[in-house]
Structure 1
Amino acid sequence: MSLAEPLLDLDDIQAHVLRGFRQDHHLVLGWRLRDAAPDTAARQLLAAVEGRVSSARSRSPGCAVALSPRVFRVLGHDDMATLDEAYAVGMARRTYLRDPPSTQWTVGAPGREIDILVILAGEDATRLAEAAAPLRSLTGADLVHEQEAHRLPGHVEHFGFRDGISQPMLRGVVDELGTPLVPRRPMPPMPDHREYAAPGDVLVWPGQFLFGLPRQSETSPTRPAPPRRVPALARNGSLLVYRKLDQDVPAFLADTARMAAQLGADPADIRAQLVGRHPDGRPLVRPPSATHAEHNHFGYDTAFPPVPDGVRGADPDPDGLRCPLAAHIRKVNPRDQETDKGPPSANLTFAILRRGITYGPPGPATAERGLLFMCYQTDITQQFELLAQRWANNPERPRQGLDNGIDLLIGRTRPGTERRARLLQGEVTTLIDYIHPRGGAYLFTPSLSALRTLSR
C-alpha cells in the first residue's frame, strides 16, 4: 500500500455491500408502507430485521436491508431522502433509461413501490422460506414483492456466460495493524499506473461505494479524493440499484444464429463478441490457452506485462480488432482507454460493485428467468446510470469519434427502433431485445448503527 488506507468498520458495514452473499439461494422481499401511520410500521419492520442483518465481519447466513427515501422522510430524516438526486427521484421517473413505462412493471409499479427491501441468503431454499415466515405476519406494510433466486451451476447467467468476473477491489484496512481488506501480492508497476491486489484485481478507494470514506480521484488512480459531506446516518452506507431483468434465451439464441448466418460466422463466436468474453470467462483479447488467473489481466490501449506466478502478459487491442468496441464488457468497463468523460485515470470513478443473482430454471425453453441485478455505489447518476445509459446506449461512447453501435445485451433504443453493433465480421442489426426490464427500485443500504437508530 503506497498511501495510508482508511480503517473499515466491518462491524458496521452490511456484508452484502462489502463482500456479497456467497450462498446459492436468495429470497428477496419488498414492502410498501401503508399511508396510515407509516412511521410506526417502518420502525416495526426495521426492528424485526435489524438483529438479522449480517455485518461484513459476520459469517452467519446472509441478510441485508435497504430503504426508500420515503422511509427516511416518515422517520424525520429528510436530509437522507435527498442524499442523491437519482435516489430522491426514483427509478420509475428516470425515463431516459428507456425502460418500459412503470405502469407495466412487475416490480415497483405505481402503488406497489418498494419502501423496505430485505435480501435473505442461505444454502437451503426451504430453510430460507422458513426464516422469512415471521416477517410475513408484520402489520402496517404490504408485501408487494417476493422473488426467489439461485445460482446456476458454474456461476453462469442464463445466456450461458460466466458472470461476476471483473469486480473492483476495495482499498482499506480491517485492524489497527494495517491488515488490508483484500490480500495483496507483489506485482510490477502496471502501464496505467494503477495498483492491483492480484492480476486484474484493480484497487479502488472505498468512498466510491461507501459514504464517509475517501473516494477515487479523477486524476490519480492511487491518490484518494476527500469524502463527500453527508448526513451522519449515511456513513458506512451505500446506494443500491435493484432491477429485475428477464432474459429471453430462445430469442438470444435464434437471433445470434441469424446474425452468424448473415456474416458467415459461428453462432458461438457472435455471442462471444456481443459479450466480449467466451462462456468460460476468457476475454476475446486472450488466446485459448489463457488460464483463469489471466482472465482479467489485460488492457485495451496498453500492453500488460507478465507478473509473478506464471501470469503471462497481454497485448493491447485499441481499435477493437479482437474484442469489438460494442462488446458489453468494453462498453461498461473501458479499463485503460480514454472516454468521453476524460482520461483513463477517471474510469475507476464510474465503477460499481455488482451483487446480482439469477432466477428461474436453466435451459433454452420458454420460462420466466433472468437476473436480479443489484449494484452498490455512492452516486447512481455517475456510476450505474452512466454505464447503463450514457455508455451502453450510445454508439459513439465511451470511446468518442467512432460509431460502433450500442451494447446489444443491455443497450436499449426506443420501441420499434433498430439496434445495431459493429462486430469483427461486419455490422449486425436487430429489432429484438434479449433482456426485458421488469422494474425495480433505487434504495439506500444503511450501516448497522444507522439501522439501530432508525428502528428505535
Structure 2
Amino acid sequence: MTATVPAALASADTTGEPLLALDDIQAHIVPGFPDTDQRFVGLRLPDGDRSGDAARAMLRELTPLVTSARAGLRHRALRRTTGAAGDGVAAAVALSARCLRALGHPELAAVDEALGVGMAERRSLRDPAPKNWAVGAPGAEIDILVILAADDETQLAVAEAPLLDPGHGLTVVHRESARRLPGDIEHFGFRDGISQPSLRGLVDADTPLAARHPMPPMPDGRAYARPGDVLLWPGQFLFGLPRQSSTSATRPADPRRVPDLARNGSLLVYRKLAQDVAAFRGDTAAMASALSVEPGTLRAWLVGRRPDGSPLSRDETDPGPGELNHFGYDDDVPPGAGVRGARADPDGARCPLAAHIRKVNPRDQETEQGIQQNTLTMMILRRGIPYGPLYEDAPDAERGLLFLCYQTDLARQFELLAQRWANRTDRPRQGLPNGLDMIIGRTRPGDPRQAPLPAGTVSTMVDYVTPQGGAYLFTPSIPALRALSEG
C-alpha cells in the first residue's frame, strides 16, 4: 500500500465537457429523486386506432408535471443544506416502444434493439416465464410508466388519483408504492445505493455538475470527482452527448447518432424483484455453520460489503464517507484528499470474486470484455427503491426492490451486467473461478447456485431474489414529451 500522499493533487479537468440542458432532462435521470416515498403507476394503451390519441391526451396531462433536472438539483441542494423534507411532488414519465409507435414515432422505438423488442420477448435474463409475471405480463405490458415522489403520502395520493381514473381511457396494469428504509438499507439489511458514477458536464460556463475535489493520481488512470466517484461522460446515460471511450478513461467518444427527439432522453429498466428475507437468513446461516464461520461474515462475502456499507476490500471496518468507494481490485489505491489508501485484492482473498458488488462492477479489473477503460462503458445509473415493510414489522408481507436504472445501450449495459456477468460463473474475470452472483444471479432450472468463498465453496437451490417482471422504456426529454403530446 502506498504510504505517502503524492505531492501534487489536482482536480479533474473539465475541458470539452458539454453544457447540460438541465431544463430539458428529467430529474429522475439526473440527479434522481431523494424523497422518502414513491408511487409507480403503469398504464396500458387501448388497442386499435384510438391508441395514439389516448397516448397524446395522457401526455398532455402529464408533461407539465414532469420535474426537470434543474428543479431536481435545487430540491436536492435544499435538502442537503437545510435538512428539510421536500414540499410538493416530483414526477417522471417513461414510454414503451409500443407507445412510441402509436404516437407515430417508430424511429424512437428503434434507438435500441432491446427496447424495440421489449423485456418480455428479450428472454436473455433467465427470468421466470413472462406469463407468470406480476408486472408486464403478455397483454398487460406497461406503455406509460409514471413515477411520483414526495415526502408526504397525502400529497402522493392526491397526485396519483387522476391516473387511477378510468375516464382517461387507459388501463391501470401496475401500481406499486415504495419507501426508503431506515439507513437506506435494502431488505436483506445492507446499506444500498453507495456506488454511483458521477456525470461529466457543466451546469453553466464555469460549474461542473459533479463538484471536483483534489485527488491523488490513480493507478487505473480514471478521472474521479472525489474519492471513489468515477467520472463518466454523460452520453453513457443521455442520448446525443459525448460517450465514454472503450480505449480511454478520460477522452470521450462521439455521441451516438439518434433522432432529434431522442436527445437528452435515456433508456429505463424497470424490474420488480421480490426478496425472501427468511430464506436468505436461514440458508446463509446453514451455509455459515457448514463452513464454521459467522452468518454475518458469510452474508458480507456474498454482498462484498458489510451491512454498514464498508467494503470488504478495505481493512478498516470504520471507513470515512470518502473511503466507502475508494478502493480497487487489481491495484493498490493511494491515500490522499483526506482518505486512507487501500490494498489490492486481485484474487478475491478479502472480497470474493463472486461477491455481488464485484460481479456487477469489476472496477479496475480487466474482464472478458477487454481493458479497464472498456468497463466504464458498461456502468449504469441506479435509481432503485425498496417496497414492502421491514421483515421484523410484518414477516409475511411482500417485500423487495423496485430496480430502476438508466443507460443508452440496454444490451451493453444492463443486460451485460445482469446476464453475462451476474448469471455466469466464468465472468467477468477470465481464468479464475468467479462463481455465481448469489444475490441476483440465476441458473437454468434445476441447476444449483455455487460460489467460491474464502472459507470454501457454497451451493444452494434457494432463490433469495425472484424477478417478477418489468419493462424496458424510453424516458424522453421534457421538450420531446411536449412534442409527442402535440403530435
Does TM, scored on the shorter chain, surpass 0.5?
yes
Q: Is the 8 A contact 1:272 1:278 kept in 2?
A: yes
123-132 or 376-385: bigger deviation: 123-132
Q: For 1:54, which of 48, 55, 67 is the aligned residue?
A: 67
Letter in structure 2 aligned against 1:85:
E
Tell me what 1:84 maps to: 112
136-145 or 292-301: bigger deviation: 136-145
Whole-Å Cα distance in 2 between the matches of residues 174 and 291 of structure 1? 28
Tell me what 2:309 maps to: 281
Q: Is the 8 A contact 1:48 1:135 kept in 2?
A: no
**Is residue 406 of structure 1 aligned with residue 419 of structure 2?**
no
110-119 or 361-370: bigger deviation: 361-370
Q: Is the 8 A contact 2:328 2:342 kept in 1?
A: yes
Q: For 1:265, which of 293, 318, 335 is the aligned residue?
A: 293
Q: For 2:469, which of 424, 427, 439 is the aligned residue?
A: 439
Whole-Å Cα distance in 2 between the matches of residues 115 and 374 of structure 1? 16
Whole-Å Cα distance in 2 between the matches of residues 289 and 235 of structure 1? 43
Q: For 1:8, which of 17, 20, 43 is the aligned residue?
A: 20
Tell me what 1:394 maps to: 424
Q: Is the 8 A contact 2:41 2:163 kept in 1?
A: no
List per-residue Cα deviations over 1:188-239 (Å, max 9, x = no partner).
Answer: 2111111111110000000000000000000001000000000001000000
**Is residue 18 of structure 1 aligned with residue 46 of structure 2?**
no
51-60 or 102-111: bigger deviation: 51-60
Aligned partner of residue 99 in structure 2, secondary structure: helix
Q: Is the 8 A contact 1:38 1:140 kept in 2?
A: no
Whole-Å Cα distance in 2 between the matches of residues 372 and 169 of structure 1? 22
**Is residue 40 of structure 1 aligned with residue 48 of structure 2?**
no
Compute the displacement of 1:404 (Å): 2.9
List per-residue Cα deviations over 1:118-174 (Å, max 9, x = no partner).
Answer: 000000112201111122224221011000000000000000000000000000001
Letter in structure 1 aligned against 2:63:
E
Q: Is the 8 A contact 1:164 1:354 kept in 2?
A: yes
399-408 or 153-162: bigger deviation: 399-408
Q: Is the 8 A contact 1:245 1:373 kept in 2?
A: yes
Cα-Cα RMSD: 0.9
Q: Which runs of structure 2 are paired with 1:75-224 in the superposition (5 Å)?
A: 75-137=103-165, 138-175=167-204, 177-224=205-252
Compute the displacement of 1:320 (Å): 0.4
Whole-Å Cα distance in 2 between the matches of residues 404 and 179 of structure 1? 42
Letter in structure 2 aligned against 1:436:
T
**Is residue 245 of structure 1 aligned with residue 273 of structure 2?**
yes
Compute the displacement of 1:403 (Å): 2.0
Tell me what 1:225 maps to: 253
Letter in structure 2 aligned against 1:64:
A
**Is residue 323 of structure 1 aligned with residue 336 of structure 2?**
no
Letter in structure 2 aligned against 1:429:
S
Tell me what 1:428 maps to: 458
Superposed structure 1 runs of 4+ greater than 3 Å apart:
none
List per-residue Cα deviations over 1:294-315 (Å, max 9, x = no partner).
Answer: 1100000001111122x10011
Aligned partner of residue 133 in structure 1, secondary structure: helix
List per-residue Cα deviations over 1:32-80 (Å, max 9, x = no partner).
Answer: 0011400110001111110000000113631000000111111111111
Letter in structure 2 aligned against 1:346:
N
Letter in structure 2 aligned against 1:431:
M
- Count of residues in Structure 1 that have an aligned counterpart in Structure 2: 454
List per-residue Cα deviations over 1:267-321 (Å, max 9, x = no partner).
Answer: 0000000000000000001122322221100000001111122x10011000100
Whole-Å Cα distance in 2 between the matches of residues 228 and 451 of structure 1? 20
Aligned partner of residue 213 in structure 1, secondary structure: coil
Whole-Å Cα distance in 2 between the matches of residues 290 and 121 of structure 1? 31
TM-score by length of 1: 0.98
TM-score by length of 2: 0.92
Tell me what 1:419 maps to: 449
Letter in structure 1 aligned against 2:438:
L
Aligned partner of residue 328 in structure 2, secondary structure: coil
Long gaps (5+) in structure 2:
1-11, 76-87
Aligned partner of residue 371 in structure 1, secondary structure: strand
Aligned partner of residue 281 in structure 1, secondary structure: coil
Q: Is the 8 A contact 1:322 1:424 kept in 2?
A: yes
List per-residue Cα deviations over 1:393-437 (Å, max 9, x = no partner).
Answer: 111110011123100000001122111000110000000000010
Q: Which runs of structure 2 are paired with 1:258-407 in the superposition (5 Å)?
A: 258-286=286-314, 287-309=316-338, 311-364=339-392, 365-407=395-437
Q: Is the 8 A contact 1:30 1:144 kept in 2?
A: yes
Tell me what 1:28 maps to: 40
Aligned partner of residue 468 in structure 2, secondary structure: strand
Letter in structure 1 aligned against 2:327:
F
Q: Is the 8 A contact 2:261 2:476 kept in 1?
A: yes
